[in-house]
Amino acid sequence: MHRRSKRNRSVRRYVPIVVNLRLRTLTLLTIGVASLSASLAVPAGVHAQGSRPVWNAPNVIDLVRRARELRSSTAIDPEFRSYTSDARGYVYFFVDRPDSAANLLVKVDQVALDLFFVAPNTTRQRIVGRRDEQVLPTSIRYHLDHLTVVQDDFGDFIQLGDGDEVEAVAHPIGPLGEAVYDFQLSDSLRISYAGGEEEIRVYEVRVRPNNMDAPGFVGTVFLDRDRAAIVRMNFSFTPASYVDDYLDYIRIATNNSLWMGSWWLPYRQEIEIRRETPFFDFMAGSTIRTTFDVRDYDFNASVPDRVLLGPPVGSVSLAQRGAFPFERGLFDDLEQQRDLMISPALEEVESHVREVVAEEVMSGLSPLRPHLARVSDFARYNRAEGVFVGAGLSWRPQGSVVARSTGGYAFGSDRASAGLTLQTDAAGVRPVVDTYWDRTGDIGGHPGATMLENTITSASGEKDYLDPYFRRGVSMTLRRQPEGSTSVTARWERHISAADVVSGTESGFRPVRSVDEGTMASLTVSSRFDLPLAGSGNVSASAGRLQGQNFASVDGGLTWTLADIDARWTTRASLAGGVTNANAPAQNMYLLGGRQTLLGHDYRLFAGNAYWLARLEGTVPVRTPFLGLRAFAAVGSTHLSDPSALPTDWAARDSNGLRSTVGLGLSIGWDSTYLDVGRALWGTGWEMMLSVAPQFRSWL
């Protein structure tokens, strides 16, 4: 075993006081019997009530100088000559989409470290355990500092990615601090513990460079009042700090714990590094997120000479790293955090940075780039547009504001289309304003194919799976980003029927279905929520009016997923349904049948102002990760209150009871593509479907 023996040691073991700040609240946690209570206080001289806090006030400069003197001190406390400790961490590499919380995990690593410190400032680390799993193909190789922790609060100069990401940014509590940065004393938080007999006060100091065009630290530093030691740092960097042109941002949250009322030492650290292509905005980025917890401190322990004489970061053999007995599973942290949602600590970093520099662009990417939300925005083909080509631009004018424009021309319908979206990346509730002209909509509620898949099938003359119409108008959505539990959307738009512009009299394409034309005003409230047994749900309620015709609807879905990512088997059960009033606009009706709903039945044959659809599917590996075997079953029905409410050109009807399908299929290439064959029950027909897995469809 690699672990240090705890027997016959003359060192003392202490229990830390752990400080965790969350959105201006400081919570003190203890491991053991300590009980804590916190109260907020404002120190004299910070700022008067109703006034704005002052940058570089004498009291904050004095606090920063005390902190710098403590960091640069070489005096050795006889009670604190050395320590050893353990660290456990996860490193996630995933692909994200800025307008969605659905991130795609590519690779996960689990790391175990032994940490060593000898006063006054000698630190060493040793990687003693590591394992990983690729969920999607990648050739990524991490920099060494992505696999380790920061023991010295980053030293006098901050470097990341071995200098390939951030080369040498002056630390605000370093020798160049007052020459490079402005400081503002924001808050003071008083923490009482041990039954109220002892008390700690922590100051929150905002930090910004005095030259935002130079490399610099942006964020907050929390300092212990008595010793001016660093308690926590939440920060990012100015765009000029990034060496790599692909870097969008880096966010860092370091949290220390207090030992014996005197020593603030590493407790938890989180880092997020996001990249995008610098020359193109494709609504996709890659993110490395690391989380490390430090524990089991032994003070004044003997540190072997072989460790002190070795490199700053060493490693045991590959076999020893692979055999390390991790206490937690490789994917346990994901299950606890509900997949790859941003953690509270990193969300707080974003909030603190925005408080310091509200109007500055904090991305390292070019503010003006070509833009496409999906591949089919560049080129597509369908029977309502013919050949369509398009392009777009994204622009960050200031602060967190992002503008994305798209435009294109459909040669078959001789029709131009355009759109402009304005949104903010700031923390909290974020408005999104979207204007559009002749944007293509699709009737039915369940997309039968992505635009790219539909282009392939339409261009080959096989099938066009869209039931298109055109929308002109504006919408405003209030939501959290990443997507929060509730969003509210108001729309005002005009709906226009599409026509078949590519088929001749002998064409075999389905007729284009007409819609109820006119101007629509609507309000939609949507919510997402978690369910027991690793489930999730969503519900959406809408009400509106179209040309004197009132309508209202409620629809949603429930999903449960059981998966063993190591073994690559998954089981998913879902239930979806919806209801709208009988005289709702035709484009608000629900359609079932065929691709993506009830395979084997005629495509979108069943229509109704109410529906339900249940589905069960599972995948087991055959040759991991290239091939898996799938099985699925689905059952559902529609209810049409008034058949005369459907337009006369719709080839659709009530399902007249239950409709079902069962089938088998193949999962190909890291579960990215499905080849399914289904048989209709309570009906006739076989159908084969080649489709892309749901997690990839938004990019197509």
pLDDT value at position 15?
A: 45
Where is pLDDT greater, at 681 or 339? 681
Which residues, 6+ apart, have CB-to-CB distance to 78 below 8 Å? none
pLDDT given at position 24: 37
What is the pLDDT, as a whole number, of residue 103?
Answer: 83
What pLDDT does residue 488 have?
94
Residue 539: the pLDDT is 95
Task: Work out the average pLDDT over 47-52.
Answer: 46
Instruction: Pick 321 or 348 by higher pLDDT.
Output: 321
- Of the two residues 111 and 509, the one the predictor is more confident about is 111
Q: Where are the beta strands (DSSP E) in 566-672?
A: 569-580, 590-592, 606-608, 610-623, 627-639, 659-668
The domain ranges of the chain are 16-36+74-179+227-356, 368-512, 531-541+554-700
Residues in the chain: 700
pTM of the model: 0.86
Residue 513 has pLDDT above 80, yes or no: yes
161 Rama sector, left if φ>0, alpha if ψ -120 to 50, beta otherwise: left
Distances (CA, A) of 511 to 77, 131, 450: 84, 55, 19
- pLDDT at position 337 is 62
Which DSSP helix (H) or strand (E) runs through 70? helix 58-72
**CATH class of the structural domain 531-541+554-700:** mainly beta
Would you say residue 505 has pLDDT above 70?
A: no
Residue 697: pLDDT above 70?
A: yes
pLDDT digits (tens, 9 = 90+) for 173-218: 999 999 999 999 987 877 655 455 667 889 999 999 999 999 999 9
Pairing mode, strands 122-134 and 313-315: parallel
Condensed to tens digits (0 to 9), the pLDDT of residues 22-49 reads: 333 333 333 232 322 233 333 333 443 3
Token readout for 205 is: 């100091």
The pLDDT confidence band at residue 117, using thresholds 50, 70 and 90, is very high
Q: What is the mean pLDDT of the chain?
A: 86
Confidence at residue 197, expressed as pLDDT on a 0 to 100 scale = 60
Average pLDDT value for residue range 587-611 = 94
Strand 157-160 and strand 122-134: the pairing is: unpaired
Whole-number Cα distances in Å, 626 to 150, 256, 350? 39, 44, 39
* Lowest-pLDDT range of 186-200, 361-375, 436-450: 186-200
Q: Could you tell me the pLDDT band of residue 426, with boundaries at 50, 70 and 90? A: low
Q: Please, how many CA atoms are within 13 Å of residue 650, restricted to the half-sphere of its CB?
A: 26
